């Protein structure tokens, strides 16, 4: 059974919110991995990364990540990217109201 091909995509964090974002083929940033540009050419991937690195007013820390594209959609290759794609691994919002006794 052939494995799904591995593509590159450009990911970063949005400067204003810190959210994970993905570079689309239209040079926009999307929080949805399904809207990312999936790149199968190493030279083009490096070029797209250089485009992202110049967008310092929009994003921080752009880099290339590996993803497979299946019939069910894109699947990040690494655990780190899987966590980034699915959202925070900790609860977001105010901390629970628990009091610690001072000793």
The answer to whether residues 49 and 10 touch, using CB atoms and an 8 Å cutoff, is yes
Percent share of the chain, pLDDT over 70? 83
Q: Give the list of residues 6+ apart from residue 89 with CB closer than 8 angstroms, or none.
A: 83
Name the average pLDDT for the chain.
87
Percent share of the chain, pLDDT over 90? 66
- pLDDT tens for residues 22-57? 999 999 999 999 999 999 999 999 999 999 999 999
| Global confidence as pTM | 0.81
pLDDT, residue 61, reads 97
What are the boundaries of each domain within the chain? 6-86
Residue 103 has pLDDT above 50, yes or no: no
């Amino acid at each position: 059974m052939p494995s799904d091909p591995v593509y590159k995509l450009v990911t970063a964090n949005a400067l204003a919110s810190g959210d994970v974002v993905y570079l689309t083929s239209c040079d926009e940033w999307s929080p949805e991995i399904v809207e990312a540009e999936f790149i199968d050419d190493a030279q083009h991937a490096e070029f797209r990364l250089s485009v992202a690195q110049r967008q310092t007013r929009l994003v921080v820390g752009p880099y290339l990540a590996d993803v497979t594209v299946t019939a069910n959609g894109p699947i990040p290759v690494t655990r780190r990217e899987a966590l980034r794609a699915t959202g925070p691994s900790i609860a977001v919002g105010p901390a629970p109201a628990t009091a610690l006794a001072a000793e």
